[in-house]
Amino acid sequence: MTKKVCILGGGFGGLYTALRLNELYWSSQEPPEITIIDKNDRFLFSPLLYELVTGELQSWEIAPPIEELLADTKIKFKQANITKIEIESKEIQCEKEISYQYDQLVVALGGKTPVEIVPGASSHAITFRNLSDAYQLQEKLRIEEKSNKEKIRVAIVGGGYSGVELACKIADRLGERGRVRLIDRGENILKNSSQFNQEIATKTLESKRIWMDLQTEVESVEADQISLLYKGKVDTIPVDIVLWTVGNQVLELIKTLPLKSNQNGQLKVNSTLQVIDHPEIFALGDAAECLDKSGQKVPTTAQAALQQADYCAWNIWASITGRPLLPFSYQNLGEMMTLGIDNATLVGLGIKLAGIPASVARRLVYLYRMPTLKHKLNVGLNWATQPLLELINS
């Protein structure tokens, strides 16, 4: 009887698990029926989402339709809102009374940005996590740019990678009209990054005249102002756009499952990425608390999810074909970060780059990591010919 593998989520963890599982050799064993379920119809290469803000890249390059990516495979894709996961009956329930049975399940649904923690943030702040967020920001910027305002004031909450990258892109887009402010409760930006990245990023922010409000908390957000708490004093300042990049929260759908989880709601998995006490369920990415075979905690990053996907696919294959499973071994390959148009940093494997060389290297690395050969070729050809077309049209 054909095994059914159901993968929840079409992001880095889910899509790459499916593609890798589809490539594995099944010998005389009948390959399983692989189904991806996601509410969105597109895969998002999220590290390049910032390039949409400046128009450096187009949506089709970083967010191709999932069905297009699966065209040359036997993987099925179902666009649906998942309402419940029935552990005992091994069933996925979706809206419109649609359900899917599974023999093995992969939970790779990602997370969400919590905006309910500060009054007004859920109503007036824009998160920056998916394609609709990017479109909302683009539309807001377009409206502000068409206005007769002398200055466009943008406040970005969160001094991590996302906040810093957004600040630089928006500052480049707005130019002299921009008044960009980066807000973080810590003493430094990029607290989990290397000293090299911190130093380069700080210098870049200063050169772009981006104001940094450190050791500062957000008290409230309103339609045209934001209130900040610094050393016991609240200061309310006018603002046109507020962007929220702080935090990562597990989806309620995952939190309600009768499975072992940590205090944040992440599912606890062993080193083979199987949920504790439920070997038929695999979890990875934002949804899982994972310690690899050496005992190190695996970060919830795109880099980690890509690596987990390879092991997840192999272990599903091994469990079906009766082979030993492999414990996950996380390899930190370094950090890459965009700091505006044609500017980036790259740190890893003994290499430190900044500026245009880092920007080019970052693009090439991400091109290599894109999901299918066909998409890599389409995007790579577009990137290669774009400068020539711009020269002809100039």
What does the H/E/C string look like for the chain? CCCEEEEECCCHHHHHHHHHHHHCCCCCCCCCEEEEEECCCECCCHHHCCHHHHCCCCHHHHCCEHHHHCCCCCCEEEECCEEEEECCCCEEEEHHHEEEECCEEEECCCEECCCCCCCCHHHHEEECCCHHHHHHHHHHHHHHHHCCCCCEEEEEECCCHHHHHHHHHHHHHHHHHEEEEEECCCCCCCCCCCHHHHHHHHHHHHHCCCEEECCEEEEEECCCEEEEEECCEEEEEECCEEEECCCCEECHHHHCCCCCECCCCCEEECCCCEECCEEEEEECHHHEEEECCCCCECCCCHHHHHHHHHHHHHHHHHHHHCCCCCCCCCCCCCEEEECCCCCEEEEECCEEEEEHHHHHHHHHHHHHHCCCHHHHHHHHHHHHHHHHHHHHHC
- CATH fold label, 121-244: FAD/NAD(P)-binding domain (3.50.50)
pTM of structure: 0.93
According to CATH, the topology of domain 4-39+80-112+249-321 is FAD/NAD(P)-binding domain (3.50.50)
Q: What is the pLDDT along the chain (394 residues), one digit of tens a residue?
A: 789 999 999 999 999 999 999 999 887 678 899 999 999 999 999 999 999 999 999 999 999 999 999 999 999 999 999 999 999 999 999 998 899 999 999 999 989 999 998 999 999 999 999 999 999 999 999 999 999 999 999 999 999 999 999 999 999 999 999 999 999 999 999 998 999 999 999 999 999 999 999 999 999 999 999 999 999 999 999 999 999 999 889 999 999 999 999 999 999 999 999 999 999 999 999 999 999 999 989 998 999 999 999 999 999 999 999 999 999 999 999 999 999 999 999 998 889 999 999 999 999 999 999 999 999 999 999 998 887 766 676 6
| Intervals of CATH 3.50.50.60 along the chain | 4-39+80-112+249-321, 121-244
